[in-house]
A and B are shown apart, each in its own frame.
Chain A
Amino acid sequence: MPSSQLSNEPVNSPEIGIKGWLRWTWRQLTSMRTALILLLLLAAAAVPGSVFPQRSADPNGVTAYFDANPTLAPILDKIQLFDVYTSAWFSAIYILLFTSLIGCVLPRTAAHARALRLPPVATPKNLKRMPAYKSASLTTKKSQDALLANAEALLKKQRYRVAIEAASGKTGGSVSAERGYLRETGNLIFHLSLMGVLIAVGIGGGLSYSGQRVLVEGESFVNNLAGYDSFSPGTFFNESQLVPFSVRLDKFEVDFYRDKTLKNQANAGTPTDFRAFVTTTLGATGKSTTGLIRVNEPLAMPNANIYLTGNGYAPSITIRDKQGQVVYSGATAFLPQDKNYTSLGVIKVTDVPKQYGIISFFYPTVGTLDSGALTSLYPDAAIPLLSMNVYQGDLGINGGQPKNVFALDIKNMKQIAGGKSGVKGLRLQLGETVKLPNELGTVTFDGLKRFASLDVDYNPGGVWVLVFALLALAGVATSLLVPRRRVWIRQTETGFEVAALARGDDPVLEKVVAEIVSELAPKKIKKESDE
């Protein structure tokens, strides 16, 4: 439309305005500059997630942060700084980025598909303007006549697409060639694969589940919702995804590094291997098989992998009342607190007229600090000792709410042994029995077992994420390393000229031109012509 007519048109027509504005927005969004800015924004937006504890990766850290900063934490929480990677602002950036990506890549895919079917572009008039240029002379008529055919053969051998243009008027005949279409193909595959990664992450995450279970040696659990200590399902999770099977922990073994030469104290006690020996039974067939789970070596079950994520000691403790009746018995998992496995456990005795609880520390190899406090000197159970503080009162478990088995809420309880209670805390060696205060009876340290923390995970998206990620890797490597260039060879009055143009970075452009010249005008021929 001529511009003079344009000025007569109503400028502020709302319909055109909105359409035009939308088109302008879309063009801006899909521009390379926008993609670049969104990428940098995404990088910046990811930073706070490494500074503040995240609910997804470190929920205990978030709780601790709230405790330490009671005024600041709720404000930070409001702007989703504890859930950065699912936050509205982080999502907004990557959704915009991927919209921009689609808007950019789809038209480019179409254009590339067209380009693949078209012959190379016509030879430009002035080849001297190209970034790489050389001319050479051919004096024999024979070589001059054969030039275009030779050039075509040479370039085809080097996997160029070739088109021959006949001479017209003053301009000589020429060969136009292009290679490296894979560069753009790789680029498009890379970007489309990133879309694939995003979709696979989304769908896979929705169908996934992850369940945690602590098992003491000899215990077993069944793969259903009730079988887990904690369970986090994806959005589309359905309980029927849980294939019925059971897992029993037969034995748990740990190797600690022993320094025979005593030259390397720093490494003494470093764990070198954890082994969980299990027996699994499939619900459908009732068939049992034994298996081994190690760190880095999960056990594959139908629709799930079982991982070993933690371990510790589980002292066997029996508590009898005044009359000698057993009121508590079993191996209780104690959570390790340091690398020498100083471990903390909680025992709740409910089957008695007046409830009481015990906070207990376990030291696999007990030692005494200068302050008189007990500590563990070595992670293996060489001199095991249990210390116990006893609290009497409301355990808070009658309300029907599930309570953390690893914590004792002592708010409504009175300490009756240990601390400032006036009664010394209890200390038990393996096999020992001691009296509980207030005529509560006796406690016995019967034996020592180990426990394993198992993680049962299922994520059907993982394999697709990997496939798309590898495609993206292949794509980006191709698009960055395959040079795309156009080469033209044209007859001149005395010989020929060669020019080349790179699309993108091409470190060997000049060399390519020089090589073509020496191939088409070998020195021998030149010599002949010199004579």
Chain B
Amino acid sequence: MNSISLNADLAAISRLVVEGAMLVYTFAFLTFAYHLSQLASTKKAVRAGATKLERVGIILLAVAAAIHGVGVVLRGISASRVPWANMYEFSIAGSFVVVTIFLFALTIKDIRLIATFVAGFNLLILGTADTIFYVDVKSLMPALQSYWLVIHVMVAVLATAFFNIAAALSIAYIFKTAKWVKASKLKLVDLMRRILALFPNEEKLERLSYRFNIIGFILWTFTLIAGAIWAERAWHRYWGWDTKEVWTFIIWTIYAGYLHANATRGWNGKRSAWLAVVGFVAILFNFTVVNLFFKGLHVYSGLK
């Protein structure tokens, strides 16, 4: 029955491909960052030239995403299973979903301005994955051998990607409405102010963030339920306050609070934007600190 085959050579190629994608992400990130500074220029001619630069950035980002996707698929083939069974794989698959959703959303909504954030974020995640989380391709421990690995984790990745984009929009909102940004006379803040002026207005940012968050919340609710169904099969109880279950619950509760905040006078706007950011920080915490340092049943980082 030992039919699992691992292909270490292919895994090494996959890693190289992912590193190649990182290189292109770097170019995309630099292009977007430079583009933003150009856009914020006081000279009209400089601003006019920036549009071309943005197109180059988007193309670079799409190329990076395509290479990234190839890397993720190769990793899956090398392990003969879905490529999200440990932290390294979850990082490369998750960041691929983030960039895919972003590129897809671009065709519906004009959210080009957070491209810098998306490119930078993916670069950071891939860099961490490649240097800290990397593990050789491994066979699945029996507890992970379930179709729920496909459903539960895939939906969790999707939810995380939506929350991620929403958090980026909320951060833009927070800066845009911050008093110190409005008042400061520092040159750097002035540049930031001019960049922020390019973003959609506050109301639009808030609404966009809300829309990404509600999709994230529905997906997260599903992740929680699917996790409980799987836990009932694998761990003989549907809920046991395992550290990962605790944090899934905490994140769900924070975003439930966020949704209520949006319907409460005095809590919408800045406070709800902060809640969206806190929720996403909790997700990052859940993925990094809880995985690596907390004791629990979800010890799947594959790291020692």
Contacts and interface: CB of A to CB of B under 8 A. Distances in A.
A493 interface: no
B1 A462 contact: no
A295 B234 contact: yes
A368 interface: no
B20 to A, nearest CB: 22
B254 A43 contact: yes
Nearest to A58: B295
A473 B137 contact: no
B183 interface: no
B142 A267 contact: no
B139 A257 contact: yes
B241 A56 contact: yes
Nearest to A43: B253
Given A272-B141, A473-B222, 16 more contacts: A35-B260, A39-B257, A40-B253, A43-B257, A57-B242, A85-B241, A270-B139, A271-B141, A273-B145, A309-B235, A459-B238, A472-B221, A473-B225, A476-B221, A480-B218, A505-B210
B52 interface: no
Contacts of A504: 263
A71 B253 CA distance: 34
Contact of A49 (B138, B246, B253, B260): B246
Interface in B222-266: 222, 225, 228-229, 232-243, 246-247, 249-250, 253-254, 256-257, 259-261, 263-264, 266
B250 A43 contact: yes
Nearest to A478: B218
Given A58-B295, A61-B295, A473-B218, A274 B207 contact: no
Nearest to A97: B253
A85 B142 CA distance: 29
Interface stretch (B4-12, B68-76, B192-200): B4-12
Nearest to A305: B236
Given A309-B236, A462-B232, A469-B228, A264 B137 contact: yes
19 contacts: A32-B260, A33-B267, A39-B254, A43-B250, A43-B254, A46-B246, A56-B240, A255-B1, A257-B139, A261-B8, A263-B8, A267-B137, A295-B143, A469-B228, A473-B218, A473-B225, A480-B217, A480-B218, A480-B259
Contacts of A49: 241, 246
Contact of A264 (B6, B214, B236, B256): B6
Contacts of A459: 237-238
A258 to B, nearest CB: 7
A470 B247 CA distance: 20
A32 B232 contact: no
A297 interface: yes
B8 A264 contact: yes
Contacts of B238: 459, 462, 465-466
Contacts of B236: 210, 298, 305, 307, 309, 455, 457
Nearest to A253: B1
A10 to B, nearest CB: 34
Nearest to A61: B295
A294 B264 contact: no
B241 A57 contact: yes
A50 B136 contact: no
A59 B136 CA distance: 33
Interface residues of B, number: 60
Contacts of A465: 228, 238
Nearest to A204: B238
A257 B3 CA distance: 9
Nearest to A194: B256
Interface string A456-478: 01010010011001101100110
A50 B260 contact: no
Contact of B2 (A33, A255, A507): A255
B294 A297 contact: no
Contacts, number: 154
- Top 8 nearest A-B pairs (CB, nearest first) are A295-B142, A307-B236, A43-B253, A39-B257, A36-B260, A263-B8, A50-B246, A480-B214
A481 interface: yes
B260 to A, nearest CB: 4
B259 to A, nearest CB: 8
Nearest to B221: A473
B17 to A, nearest CB: 19
A297 B233 contact: yes
A455 B233 CA distance: 12
A266 B136 contact: yes
Interface string B258-286: 01110110110000000100000000000
Nearest to B264: A32
A46 B253 contact: yes
Contacts of A47: 246, 250
B140 interface: yes
Interface string B53-64: 000000000000
A53 interface: yes
A7 interface: no
A408 interface: no
Contacts of B261: 36
A183 to B, nearest CB: 12
A195 interface: no
Contacts of A305: 236
A289 interface: no
Contacts of B241: 49, 54, 56-57, 84-85
Given A49-B241, A57-B242, A507 B234 contact: no
